[in-house]
């Protein structure tokens, strides 16, 4: 039996292209434009030529380039952009994806083995994309006796809590943070407290003994390490006199708090490794003991969402360490100054004398601060990844003893040191070191 392959016809190909273009334009006209105008009515529009730009004239940027950059600059400072792109979910997800790839190559170099290499020509760069497509395409299997509503919502809650933690991390000066409450550090503690609840509920909902054992381990581990984690940061609060994360960064313009609170920094670093359930504190997911712990029954994109939330949480904790102990965005100026005429008047295009306002889109201070924040945060992330390649997993009794006894005692030592520096007049308001 022979089959005849369909012949390629240019007319059909061109006709299909026109059909696609027609439907795209139709849907954009009926749905896209109304949505764009609704969004524009809720955005504070820029003032161009001493006149407030209206939403009805906003789309004229396609015909008038002098309005393009002011509109883009306005959109970059909206809450929507901060949440979706930078410094919120998009920025954190990009760093999380890069961390997954770097972790594999980093650990392979440490252990003298081959990391991701065969998918993609440049160090296996496409391996990450391949794994993502695999998770999206795999079937999601729900256990027959699982509590399905809680089992379904668990990964979403885990990802949402990690995103909420990311929203509290200030990345650059000038308000580049999603949420900046005066009690930002308390908000961090409150958000972290949701992770053990979500873990135990999700593990219980799977109705599997391995997941429940992993969930109980996670609960014991997180509670044991959350107390020294909170105590380790009290010394920073004592020295700065504020709970606002932005103000804590601004207080480190001349020196980092890790200089005066090294014990707190060590305790906090150990605690965040335990909070992230990474080696040597990976007992909730010990694959050689309880399959995959509380993640045993998850498959497909449900497992992918938890992994994304885990690496968002990794970025958030690394960023928090940078903000509290390493000066945040503070650092020497390495970004070149923008010409004064571009900053004040814009730029002239060719023979056209019209000035384009809105340049530059980002000021030098913001770019310099973002650069230093990313460099410091990536360094902390690498330090968090390092123990996985060199340390074995510890026993549960050793883990709990470390958290409840040793780390709490060390945290109190640095609290007393901070109080001594404050009352001796070395640090704090009116102190010798400012």
pLDDT tens digits for 88-137?
A: 899 999 999 899 888 888 888 888 877 777 666 677 778 888 888 888 88
Query: Mean pLDDT highest for which of 154-168, 206-220, 297-311?
Result: 154-168
Asked whether residue 378 carries a pLDDT value surpassing 80, the answer given is yes
Q: Which residue has the tokens 């399959």?
A: 291
Residues of the chain with pLDDT > 90, as a percent, come to 25
- In angstroms, the CA 45 to CA 51 distance is 10
Residue 394 — very low, low, confident or very high, per pLDDT cuts 50/70/90? Answer: confident
Quick check: is 289 in a domain? yes
- In angstroms, the CA 150 to CA 197 distance is 12
Query: Mean pLDDT highest for which of 110-119, 145-154, 424-433?
Result: 145-154
Query: Mean pLDDT highest for which of 120-129, 236-245, 350-359?
Result: 236-245
Quick check: is 105 in a domain? no
Instruction: Say which residue, 360 or 258, is predicted with more confidence.
Output: 258
Neighbouring C-alpha atoms within 13 Å toward the C-beta of 414: 29
What digits encode the pLDDT tens for the residues 241-260? 899 999 999 989 888 999 98
Average pLDDT value for the chain: 82
Domain residues for the domain of 150 are 141-334+363-423
Quick check: is 344 in a domain? no
Quick check: is 188 in a domain? yes
The number of domains in the chain is 1
Asked whether residue 64 carries a pLDDT value surpassing 70, the answer given is no
Contact 395, 241 (CB under 8 A): no
Instruction: Please tell me whether residue 348 adopts helix, strand or coil conformation.
Output: strand
Residue 53 — very low, low, confident or very high, per pLDDT cuts 50/70/90? Answer: low
pTM of the model: 0.83
- In angstroms, the CA 258 to CA 383 distance is 16
Quick check: is 206 in a domain? yes
Q: What pLDDT is stored for residue 80 in this prediction? A: 82
Contact 167, 83 (CB under 8 A): yes
- In angstroms, the CA 357 to CA 257 distance is 40
Quick check: is 113 in a domain? no
Quick check: is 193 in a domain? yes
Quick check: is 118 in a domain? no
Residue 354 — very low, low, confident or very high, per pLDDT cuts 50/70/90? Answer: low
Instruction: Please tell me whether residue 176 adopts helix, strand or coil conformation.
Output: strand
Residue 67 — very low, low, confident or very high, per pLDDT cuts 50/70/90? Answer: low
Q: Out of 197-201, 228-232, 249-253, which region has the weakest mean confidence (pLDDT)?
A: 197-201
């Amino acid at each position: 039996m022979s089959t005849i392959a369909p012949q390629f016809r240019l007319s059909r190909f061109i006709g299909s292209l026109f059909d696609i273009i027609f439907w795209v334009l139709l849907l954009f006209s009926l749905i896209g434009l109304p949505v764009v105008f609704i969004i524009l009515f809720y955005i504070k529009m820029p003032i161009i030529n001493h006149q407030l730009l209206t939403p009805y004239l906003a789309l004229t940027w396609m015909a008038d380039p002098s309005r393009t950059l002011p509109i883009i600059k306005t959109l970059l400072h909206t809450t929507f952009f901060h949440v979706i792109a930078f410094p919120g979910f998009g920025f954190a997800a990009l760093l999380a994806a890069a961390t997954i790839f770097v972790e594999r190559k980093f650990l392979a170099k440490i252990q003298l083995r081959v990391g991701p290499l065969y998918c993609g020509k440049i160090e296996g760069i496409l391996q990450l994309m391949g794994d993502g497509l695999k998770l999206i395409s795999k079937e999601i299997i729900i256990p027959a006796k699982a509590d399905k509503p809680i089992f379904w919502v668990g990964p979403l809650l885990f990802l949402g809590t990690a995103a909420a933690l990311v929203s509290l991390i200030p990345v650059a000066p000038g308000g580049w943070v999603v949420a900046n409450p005066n009690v930002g550090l308390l908000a961090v503690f409150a958000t972290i407290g949701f992770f053990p609840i979500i873990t135990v509920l999700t593990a219980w909902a799977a109705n599997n003994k391995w997941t429940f054992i992993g969930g109980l381990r996670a609960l014991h581990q997180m509670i044991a390490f959350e107390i020294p984690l909170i105590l380790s940061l009290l010394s920073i609060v004592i020295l700065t006199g504020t709970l606002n994360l932005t103000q804590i960064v601004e207080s480190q313009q001349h020196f980092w708090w890790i200089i005066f609170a090294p014990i707190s920094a060590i305790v906090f670093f150990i605690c965040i490794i335990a909070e992230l359930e990474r080696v040597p504190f990976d007992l909730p997911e010990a694959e050689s003991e309880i399959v995959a712990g509380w993640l045993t029954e998850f498959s497909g994109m449900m497992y992918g969402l938890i992994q994304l939330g885990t690496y968002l949480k990794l970025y958030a904790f690394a960023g928090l360490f940078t903000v509290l102990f390493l000066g945040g965005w503070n650092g020497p100026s390495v970004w070149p100054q923008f010409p004064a005429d571009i900053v004040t008047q814009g730029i002239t295009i060719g023979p056209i004398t019209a000035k384009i306002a809105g340049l530059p889109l980002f000021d030098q201070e913001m770019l310099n601060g973002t650069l230093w924040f990313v460099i410091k945060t990536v360094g902390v992330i690498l330090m968090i990844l390092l123990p996985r390649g060199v340390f074995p997993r510890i026993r549960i009794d050793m883990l709990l003893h470390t958290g409840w006894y040793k780390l709490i005692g060390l945290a109190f030592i640095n609290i007393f040191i901070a109080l001594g520096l404050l009352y001796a007049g070395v640090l704090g308001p009116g102190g010798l070191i400012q």
